[in-house]
Chains A and B, each alone.
Chain A
Amino acid sequence: MTAPLLTIDDLKVTFSTRNGLVEALKGVSLSLDAGETLGIVGESGSGKSVTAFSVMQLLDRAGRITNGRITFRGQDITRASRAMLQPLRGAAMSMIFQNPRAALNPIRTVGLQIADVLRAHEPLSAKEARARALKLLEAVLIRDPEERLDAYPHELSGGMCQRVMIAMAIACEPALLIADEPTTGLDVTTQKTVMDLLAEITARRGMAMILITHDLGLAAQYCQRVAVMEQGLVVEQAVPASLFGAPRHPYTKRLVAASPTRHSTVDSLVVDAGEPAQAAPRVSPRRPAEPLLSVSNLVKTFDNGFRGVDDVSFDLAPGESLGLVGESGSGKSTISRLVCRLVDHSAGTIGFDGEDIGKVTSRDFYRSRFRKDIQIVFQDHGDSLNPRFSAFDCIADPLKLLAGVQDGRELRRQVEDCARRVGLPAEFLDRFPHQLSGGQKARVGIARAIAAKPRLLVLDEPTAALDVSVQAVILHLLDRLRRETGLAYLFVSHDLNVVRMMCERTIVLQKGRIVEQGPSGALFTDPASDYARELIAAIPHFDPEAATARHREAATAG
């Protein structure tokens, strides 16, 4: 039996923070054979990235390995010096990162950056390095590689930047590639091509890969073995089929349940959903004669002549939930901002309650009587809250401005009522955004939006920045709110599974145009357009049932 390529043995890492020492890893042990693909999944703060950075010795100043051993090819690299690491990094083990555009030097051409890596490890002339860089760009399937050599990162799309990053990482044929959330922030179809490329390259060159991701579907699809991390510990590791088919650890169970799949419903996401959501049965959206929102021939042309939204029409009934899906640049967020009257449209009408609210400019819309009826929940819950407002102030602000609540006691009562409805404990109301967790900030953002009792809530990727377990709870909350209050939702998301669960009808957008629309169930099981089919096929999925079946097969075969 050959020794594993990489072993991590009882690794402990502490970070010194303002609040004293924090133990980020509490004894992690993992091993990886040459050519193997290991997935590490877990939510933020679970220590999966810290593990990767420890292997590469890239922990920032505050982090320190306090215990354990990291062995790479039989060599102890736990406390390796720079002189020892430099020939290893890039040549024997390399890493690709989340947010590929930021990971590339913005003022250096990508050709030179690839050449930098090559020349750091091999004695090449500038010309030879350029020729090799060209070959690498071809290997990562970049179109017009010759031209792209002289491009700067900002001239490439996010997916292209990640390909360049992959080209740099594999330039010197390392034995180990660590991919830290390589496709987070990329569109599903881009994610699929990038991941397929990574899988193909590692398989062909016999490279071992550690794939760090929060997406169970991705880990299930591309890894031979998956380790689940929680709070600095590996709680379970197994082959994907048995891990997702028959999770043993309670945390894994929770994680698997919370991950939206093609069969999950809002209720199935949360293992122990405190209150029964069925208490208020969903009012079946009867189609009243008058739609609440009626958008017709909406066009938005940007200053540079780009048509972000191109002749879009749709209706939304009171109490209905409509999903907008599409890739980045499809115009879904622009539509949500147009409907909210935060941005002015170029042509078309936005009918609300039978009146064309598009006639009021976005600058003056705050005075419109409809301002209070249309509210928005933003994607980034941290950035969309005023850092100097406590949670109470955030929720009270729309009440004061839009609902005209002036009396202090009445205001407090209503804010507390809002907080209770979104499940935010009253003692958190005095905290400031930086003192709240991601899920709590999301709750404040939702409470703020529903405070003035709107009739239409626009949700712009409300859970994109949240961990799956938090996402599950928030989705559950949103679904319950809608049943209770009869709000209408315009739900923008890139996560098709989430939209399928949350919305009765879905619109698929591409390049500012509607390519398909219809009832969510039918659209997802039997898409009519090629584009929708492509989108749905690109969703990485682990099918608990299929996984169970495979697991059973494997068990009987073994």
Chain B
Amino acid sequence: MSLAAGIARRAGRRALSSVPALFGVIVFTFLLMRVLPGDPAVFFASGPNAGQAEIQMIREQMGLDKPIPQQLLLYLKDIATGNLGRSMNTGQPVVTDLINRLPASLELTFTALLFALSLALPLGILAALKPNSLIDHGVRFLCSLGVCVPTFVSGLLLIYAFYYILGIAPDPTGRLDVFAAQPPVVTGFILIDAALAGEWESWRAAASQLVLPAATMALFVLAPLARMTRAAMLAVMTSDFVRTGEALGLSRRRVVLVYALRNALLPVITIMGIVFSTMLGANVLVEKVFSWPGVASYALDALLTSDYAPVQGFVLLMAFIFVLVNLTIDVLYGLADPRVSIE
């Protein structure tokens, strides 16, 4: 009861304190988009020989003729009313585009995080239990590999191996095989939607599409997770309470998993939040390589065509997600460590 209240209070305070940061992000992206080279009005004019009048008209339509402060105010008002503008590329409201595409990115990122954790935790623990052993060096090698090979290279390598040579992976084109039936959209997460509709054929198709991009992402974030797990485990294994567990005859399993690991997970939780936010936004290359219809590739396309609104919408979305992830991490932390809810 008091624990939940403590966590809620912390989360509330954290949410409040992130409001100025969010405002800063809004202003920053607004200004950034105004100083980037290229005039969208020219770009969106009907053709290279469009007249000055036509460009002027588009400009007025987009509000680009007004002074910058006024543009900012208009922008803030739009955000407050949930209007993020319209994408020039797709012709859709940005909000609709983001809502359509966000589940794809989230599904990919969650799966990748799951892959990464299920690999990083055991590896980190094994490495910590036998420091400087063969296993430790092996894990270190794998982590270095994951970090220094760019995701587009590892992604292409995986495609080459599993699709081109072995032929066990489906062609890397989007979330679902063109021949598989699209399940009715409920959450936007195809795996969940397919499971809800009981369409296991589609589920399997979607899952097999997901494996390679998720593995590519997971490989990239394996290093921070595994190394942090190792470091935290090493520190915890020499702590007094682990020694107590040993001295009182607890089984090795219990000492490692209940006494050491649960304590070692605390810093890993923090890293997990950072890793998640990074994957969601920064792994645009993975989305590109696998033609994944996610928000990051959407934002990149928009950026390349000087399409302001989607980029602003994307940055804003990322900022919101970052705040949300931090809140989640806070709550998780509060649950995992009874000490933090007491200030």
Q: Is the CB of A94 within 8 A of B240?
A: no
Q: Are B248 and A89 in contact (CB under 8 A)?
A: yes
Q: Which B residue's beta carbon lies closest to that of A102?
A: B240
Q: Digit string of A83-103 for contact with B (CB within 8 Å is 1, else 0)?
A: 001111111001101010011
Q: Which residue of B lies closest to A168 (CB)?
A: B248
Q: Are A106 and B247 in contact (CB under 8 A)?
A: no
Rounded to whole angstroms, the CA-CA distance of A120 and B247 in the bound complex is: 12
A102 close to B250 (CB less than 8 A): no
Q: Whole-angstrom distance from the CB of A423 to the nearest CB of chain B?
A: 35
Which residue of chain A has the shortest Cβ distance to B338 in the bound complex?
A152
Indicate which residue in A60, A91, A97 contacts B240 across the interface (CB closer than 8 Å): A97
One of B88-96, B97-105, B138-146, B256-264 contacting the partner: B256-264
Q: How far is the CA of A89 from the CA of B255 in the complex (A)?
A: 13
Restricting to A133-154, which residues have a CB under 8 Å from any CB of B? 152, 154
Asked if A116 meets B245 with Cβ closer than 8 Å, knowing A105-B259, A107-B337, A154-B342, the reply is yes
Cα distance A255–B338 in the bound complex, in angstroms: 44
CB distance from B214 to the nearest CB of A (A): 31
Closest to B246 in A: A58
B243 at the A interface (CB under 8 A)? yes
B240 touches A99 (CB 8 A): yes
The docked-state distance in angstroms from the alpha carbon of A169 to that of B247 is 9
Measured between beta carbons, the chain B residues less than 8 angstroms from A88 are 249
Known A-B contacts A60-B238, A154-B342; the reply to A168 vs B244 at CB < 8 A is: yes
B260: nearest chain-A partner, CB-CB: A105
B205 → A minimal CB distance (Å): 42
Q: Are A97 and B337 in contact (CB under 8 A)?
A: no
What residues on B are CB-neighbors of A85 within 8 Å? 249
Cα separation A152 to B254 with both chains bound (whole Å): 19
Q: Is the CB of A120 within 8 A of B240?
A: no
How close is B106's CB to chain A, nearest CB, in angstroms?
30
Bound-state CA distance A154–B244 (Å) is 17
Residue of B nearest to A56 (CB): B247
Counting CB contacts under 8 A, is B241 at the interface? yes
Smallest CB separation, A74 vs chain B (Å):
20
CB distance from A174 to the nearest CB of B (A): 9
Q: Which residues of B contact A120 (CB under 8 A)?
A: 248-251, 254
Name the A residues within 8 Å of B240 (CB-CB): 97, 99, 102-103
- Contact residues of B: prevailing secondary structure: helix
A554 to B336 Cα, complex, angstroms = 59
* Interface hub of A85, A91, A97 (most chain B Cβ within 10 A): A97
Chain A residues with a Cβ closer than 8 Å to the other chain, count: 33
Looking at A56, A82, A103, the one whose CB has the most chain B CB atoms below 10 A away is A103
Q: Looking at the complex, which one of A82, A89, A106 makes contact with B339 (CB distance below 8 Å)?
A: A106
B34 interfacial by beta-carbon distance below 8 Å: no
Most chain B C-beta atoms within 10 Å of own C-beta, residue among A56, A105, A106, A108:
A105
Compute how far the CA of A60 lies from the CA of B240 in the bound complex, rounded to whole angstroms: 12
Contact A90 B250 (CB under 8 A): yes
Say whether A104 faces chain B, with CB atoms less than 8 Å apart: yes
Known contacts being A106-B263, A154-B342, is A86 close to B243, with CB within 8 Å?
no
Which residues of A are found within 8 Å of B263, using beta-carbon distances?
105-107
Q: How far is the CB of B133 from chain A (nearest CB, A)?
A: 12
Interface membership of B187, Cβ < 8 A:
no
Question: Which residues 51-95 of A sit at the B interface, judged by CB distance below 8 A?
Answer: 56, 58, 60, 82, 85-91, 94-95
Contact A154-B239, Cβ < 8 Å, known A89-B248, A103-B244: no
Indicate whether A192 reaches chain B with its CB closer than 8 angstroms: no
Q: Mark B324-343, 1 if CB is under 8 A from A, else 0.
A: 00000000000011110010
Q: Does A117 touch B at the CB level, under 8 Å?
A: yes
Decide if A165 is an interface residue (CB 8 Å cutoff): yes
Instruction: Give the residues in chain A near B338, CB-CB below 8 Å.
Output: 106-107, 152, 154
Is A550 in the interface zone, CB < 8 Å from B? no
Most A C-beta atoms less than 10 A away, residue of B241, B249, B258, B339: B249
Q: Which residues of B approach A to under 8 Å, CB–CB? A: 238-241, 243-252, 254, 258-259, 262-263, 266, 336-339, 342
6 CB < 8 A contacts A-B: A56-B247, A94-B247, A103-B243, A104-B244, A152-B338, A169-B248
* With A89-B246, A102-B241, A104-B241 already in contact, 12 other A-B pairs whose C-beta atoms are closer than 8 Å: A58-B246, A82-B252, A89-B248, A90-B247, A90-B248, A94-B247, A108-B258, A116-B245, A116-B258, A120-B254, A154-B342, A155-B342
| Smallest CB-CB A-B distances: 3 pairs | A90-B249, A90-B248, A89-B249
